[in-house]
Amino acid sequence: RYDNRCRDLTEGNIACNVAEGKPFVIRLKLKANFISIKDALFGKVGHNSYFEGDPVLLKSDGFPTYHLANVVDDHMMQISHVIRGKEWLTSTSKHVQIYEALGWDLPTFIHLPLLINTDGSKLSKRQVGKFFSGYSPSALLNFMAYYGSGFPGLRFYLISSYHSSQLVLSDAIVNFSKLDEFSTILTKYILDGNKSELQHMREALYKLVQQKYGVLLKSKAIFKYIFLVATLLTTQGHITKLNDLILKEYQYLWIRPEV
């Protein structure tokens, strides 16, 4: 905690320090009586940041800290709603005071629950790349919407269904095995009669097979609509994602076996 020691420097002290070339920072003088902020999801949240000490706004090298930069950036870009993870909830009391000090209107703040691992640690974007390879956009969309959002049922388009009242407050424990479940369910749903999504799936399978086997393909007939759809229909329940169809156990569908 910073002890606010520089709050009581006199004009003479400041002039002397500047003359000696001492490095300095610019801090925000926090209000002692600031207690609560309004969040669109969590409601009225009490937090008095005064006891943490005056935060740095401009560092000694002249660069701004996140506290100042995010406020200025959002204001200049005319951001109406600031939506971010709830780990920033306690810092928002500082940000509100920066808005007030600059004479700017406050945006609406919405702090979202976090995605966490099964051990309680925060999920990192560096962790997830290895899990998402090969899944359809629809499967990924529904998998992500499942955690913390409250979207009902399967979805192919979320914008028309979104409302902040459907968000939940608690952190979501991400179970990546559910990605396979969503992919399997979506595949069955599409093959049962969603023609527009079936066309997208057929086109995606066409590209996968072409990229994987190229000149080794046994016949151009395999690219016909009826063959690709028949392949999808007969293998549903046995695969979780399209990429499974270019694995070794299914290569007999696309190339002639070696003898």
* Catalytic residue numbers, as ranges: 125
C-beta atoms surrounding 125 within 10 Å = 7
Distance (Å) of CA 55 to CA 13, 59, 94, 189, 213 = 21, 10, 8, 53, 59
Measured CA to CA, the distance from residue 188 to residue 166 in angstroms comes to 27
List alpha helices for the chain, DSSP H: 11-19, 66-76, 92-102, 125-132, 137-146, 177-191, 195-213, 225-235
State whether residue 68 is helix, strand or coil. helix
